[in-house]
Amino acid sequence: MLKRLSFAAQMALLALLLLAPFLGLYPVFLMKLLCFALFACAFNLLLGFTGLLSFGHAAFFGFSAYVTGHLIKVLGWSPELALLAGAVTGAGLGAVFGLVAIRRQGIYFAMITLALAQMVFFICLQAPFTGGEDGLQAVPRGMLLGSVSLMSDTVMYYVVAAIFLACYLGIARIVNSPFGQVLKMIRENEPRAVSLGYEVDRYKLLAFVLSAALAGLAGSLKTLVMGFATLSDVHWSMSGEVILMSLLGGVGTLFGPVLGAGIVIALQNLLADKVGSWVTVIIGAIFVICVMTFRKGVVGELQAYMDRRRQHG
Amino acid sequence: MEIFGIPHQAFLGQLMLGLVNGAFYAMLSLGLAVIFGLLDIVNFAHGALYMLGAFAAWILLDKFGVNYWYALLLAPLLVGALGVVIERVFLKRLYGLDPLYGLLLTFGLSLILEGVFRELYGVSGQSYQVPEQLTGATNLGFMILPNYRAWVVLASLVVCLGTWYLIERTRLGAYLRAATENAKLVQAFGVNVPVMVMLTYGAGAALAGLAGVLAAPIIQVTPLMGSNLIIVVFAVVVIGGMGSIMGSIVTGLGLGLVEGLTRVFYPEASSVVVFVVMIIVLMLRPAGLFGKEA
């Protein structure tokens, strides 16, 4: 029964993904939502399935956003290559962060990634190719594979949706693979994983690089959709937002981060012109409420509720 | 006279500025270390509490005419009281959970505090006058020393060493260190550990508030002054390791000096040098300079 319900829910969500532009929703909003959903899923691969809290994911998101923007706007690269370059940039940066940060555990890991990301922020602030305070503006979407114009929001939407779906299924595959099982073991009991002979650091590093690559891709995609990359993409508050998305939706669940991203982005869109800088306060308050009352997140609590019901008949 | 081709006035001036920054790093990382030791919580809100201290001083002067010297006492008390409230209402319920939740909760709290002050006072800074007793500068012969900066370094050294003495050399400090090692056992000996934990967080918050008051006259008082600083302080804590009080003080001051030197020789790198040092230390000595854990 539950399994059938979950299958039906998945089909409904897939249909929603495919039909969304015809439901009267603003396509740019939907694309932005999918970019952040991808970002949150990438982050959750690390926190939810490996147990590593990175407080520096904005670095991958934002730096790749700049790289893609620069490659398209200044060097005239095609969108697909620029997106690929964004993902590779994320992976490279992730390898550097990972090598430094996995030398410490737990709370230190979070502080180190935060500090490294702040360094990337300062570099972006000063480097000439990022446009400093102004950011990179008016990045053209160009022609996909040299033949399909992405100027139309509908075409762009389906490209974004396809990339998102591919990455989402990829993450689901990773999580359920033997590799994913090892990651979960590291999350649950690292000393035990070590004693069983796994080279924990290599697994952590690979998970970090994968997560960073996907976060980079999300940032690149965001540049392509919105046409700009700015300092707010690399700022620590962006790292905070992606944590909130995962936490709110449900850390360690596959769909949680997508839902969390949806809630946060929708909230920002709804509130931005009404309450101004109170948005920060509201985001902070959601953080506090989340940590105090439902640490498993919406999807996580729902799953726990279903499990309880099943156990009690 | 020149030092490495830099006029020595400018050189010493930057070193002094570095020392001032280092004094703030030391005070803040000290508070973080004490709180982490007992509560197992990395207090992200430390930056926001520092900001609150500066704003409290500014509001006390602007609205109530309370001068700097009273603010130096009053503002930390106010911030400390807020700390006690935070501990009672929120942190108390998180003990025993993964320390990451404490970090996330205090992150949320700092967003709230910063957001409220940004709404009330905007992002542009408020300036706070240097108290008249400390205006001007003293000519030491080899350099001209602004009195207020000298005071900041002196005051924070006294506070840091006082805290060190309190924790390492007094009976109360012994209870504190014992509770850090094994809270249950200390409780069994009849020490009221929950109250001690509450007061420790309050004291840590007050220390951040005091740093804020000291900083108010030399920097613009803005809602975001704390969050930018706290990330550097995190790096300082990673470099020093949170195991030792003296370690925090030495590391804080040392990195302030390193930053000052960088500003002399290669100003572009001055905002990232602490992070670079962090990477190097992690590569060579992952537990941090004064860290004990593996």
Tens digit of each residue's pLDDT, chain A (313 residues): 455 667 888 888 888 888 877 777 788 899 999 999 999 999 999 999 999 999 999 999 999 999 999 999 889 888 899 999 999 999 999 999 999 999 888 888 999 999 999 999 999 998 888 877 778 887 888 777 877 777 888 888 999 999 999 999 999 999 999 999 999 999 999 999 999 999 999 999 999 999 999 999 999 999 999 988 899 999 999 999 999 999 999 998 999 999 999 999 998 888 877 777 788 899 899 999 999 998 888 888 888 888 888 887 5
**Which chain A residues are Cβ-neighbours of B226 within 8 angstroms?**
none
Cβ(A39)–Cβ(A225) under 8 Å? no
Pull the structure tokens for residue A210.
Answer: 């994968």
HSE-CB of B149 using CA atoms within 13 angstroms: 18
Cα–Cα distance measured from residue A272 to residue A269, given in angstroms and rounded to the nearest whole number: 6
Flag if A110 and B103 touch (Cβ within 8 Å): yes
B3 has a pLDDT exceeding 70: no
Q: Report angle CA A101, A105, A108 to the nearest 5 degrees.
A: 70
What would the pLDDT profile of B109-158 be if each residue is shown by its tens digit?
Answer: 999 999 999 988 888 888 888 888 888 888 877 778 888 999 999 999 99
- Measured CA to CA in angstroms, residue B14 lies from A150, B7, B24, B220, B255 at distances of 52, 11, 15, 19, 13
Residues from B in contact with A at Cβ < 8 Å: 36, 42, 90, 93-94, 97, 99-101, 103-105, 107-116, 118-119, 227, 231-232, 234-235, 237-238, 268, 271-272, 274-276, 278-279, 282-283, 286
d(CA B109, CA B119): 15
Inter-residue contact A211 to A180 (CB < 8 Å): no
Binned at pLDDT 50, 70 and 90, residue B2 comes out as: low
Q: Which 8-state DSSP code applies to residue B221?
A: B
In this prediction the ipTM stands at 0.89
3-state secondary structure labels for all residues of chain A: CHHHHHHHHHHHHHHHHHHHHHHCCCHHHHHHHHHHHHHHHHHHHHHHHHCCCCCCHHHHHHHHHHHHHHHHHCCCCCHHHHHHHHHHHHHHHHHHHHHHHCCCCHHHHHHHHHHHHHHHHHHHHHCHHHCHHHCECCCCCCEECCCEECCCHHHHHHHHHHHHHHHHHHHHHHHHCHHHHHHHHHHHCHHHHHHCCCCHHHHHHHHHHHHHHHHHHHHHHHHHHHCCECHHHCCHHHHHHHHHHHHHHCCCCCCHHHHHHHHHHHHHHHHHHHHCCHHHHHHHHHHHHHHHHCCCHHHHHHHHHHHHHHHCC
Whose tokens are 């979950």? That residue is A6
What integer is the mean pLDDT of B215-244?
Answer: 88
Helix (H, G, I), strand (E, B) or coil at B175: helix
How far is the C-alpha of A5 from the C-alpha of A10, rounded, in Å? 9
**Beta-carbon separation of B90 and A288 below 8 A:** yes
Please count the residue pairs, one from chain A and one from chain B, whose beta carbons lie less than 8 angstroms apart: 116
Of B111, B115, B234, the CB nearest to A114: B234
Look at A110 and B100 and tell me if their CB atoms are within 8 Å. yes
What is the model's pLDDT at position A68? 94
Q: Judging by DSSP bridges, how do beta strands B137-139 and B6-7 pair with one another?
A: unpaired
Q: In one letter, which amino acid is B11? A: F
- Residue B135, token pair as written in the block: 């205006």
- CB-nearest to B100 from A107, A122, A240 is A107
* B75, two tokens: 């503002």
User: Which residue does chain B place closest to A98, by CA atoms?
Assistant: B279
- Sequence length of chain A is 313
Q: What is the DSSP letter of B293?
A: -
Which amino acid would we find at residue B10?
A
Lookup result for tokens 């309370």: B66
Q: What pLDDT score was predicted for residue B28?
A: 94
Q: Are strands B2-3 and A148-149 parallel, antiparallel or unpaired?
A: unpaired
Model pTM score: 0.91
Do the Cβ atoms of A227 and A72 come closer than 8 Å? no
* Helix H or strand E segment including B245: helix B245-265
Amino acid at site A269: N
Inter-chain residue contact B99 with A292, CB threshold 8 Å: no
- A142 CB contacts (<8 Å, ≥6 apart)? A72, A78, A79, A150
List the structure tokens of B279.
Answer: 């990477």
**Gap between the Cα atoms of B256 and B250, Å rounded:** 10
Range in B42-46, B243-247, B270-274 the model is least confident about: B243-247
User: What DSSP state is assigned to residue B190?
Assistant: T
CA distance A107 to chain B (A): 6
Q: Which residue of A has its CA nearest to B268?
A: A126
Q: Do B105 and A123 touch (CB under 8 A)?
A: no
CATH 1.10.10 given to domain B2-103+138-284: no
Nearest of B146, B62, B47 to residue B103 by alpha carbon: B47
As a dihedral over the C-alpha atoms of residue B240, residue B245, residue B250, residue B256, rounded to 10 degrees, the angle is: 70
CB contact under 8 A, A115 and B268: no
Strand locations in chain B (E):
2-3, 6-7, 137-139, 144-146
* DSSP one-letter string for B70-135: HHHHHHHHHHHHHHHHHHHHTGGGGTTS-HHHHHHHHHHHHHHHHHHHHHHH-SSPB--PPPGGG-
The SS3 assignment for B139 reads strand
- Name chain B contacts of A285, Cβ cutoff 8 Å: 108, 112
CB–CB of A174/A180 below 8 Å? Answer: yes
Q: B279 to chain A, minimum CA–CA distance in Å?
A: 7
Segment B214-239 shows an average pLDDT of 90
A66–chain B nearest CA distance, Å = 20
User: How many of the other CB atoms lie within 10 Å of CB of B116?
Assistant: 17
Q: Which residue has the higher pLDDT, B171 or B242?
A: B171
**Nearest one of B204, B205, B214, B203 to B155, comparing CA atoms:** B214
Phi, psi of B221 (to 5 degrees): -80, 105
Q: Which residue has the tokens 């860290």?
A: B291
CA–CA dist B122, B166 (Å, integer): 39
Report CA-CA distances (Å) from A304 to A299, A307, A309: 9, 5, 9
Residues of B in contact with A284 (CB under 8 A): 107-115
Measure CB to CB from residue B231 to each of A114, A247, A283 and give the nearest one: A114
Q: Residue B111 and residue A276: Cβ atoms within 8 Å?
A: no
Residue B65: strand, helix, or coil = coil
Q: Å from B49 to nearest chain A CA?
A: 15
pLDDT at residue B102 tops 70: yes
> Model confidence at B87, in pLDDT bands (50, 70, 90)?
very high
Res. B5 pLDDT band, cuts 50 70 90: low
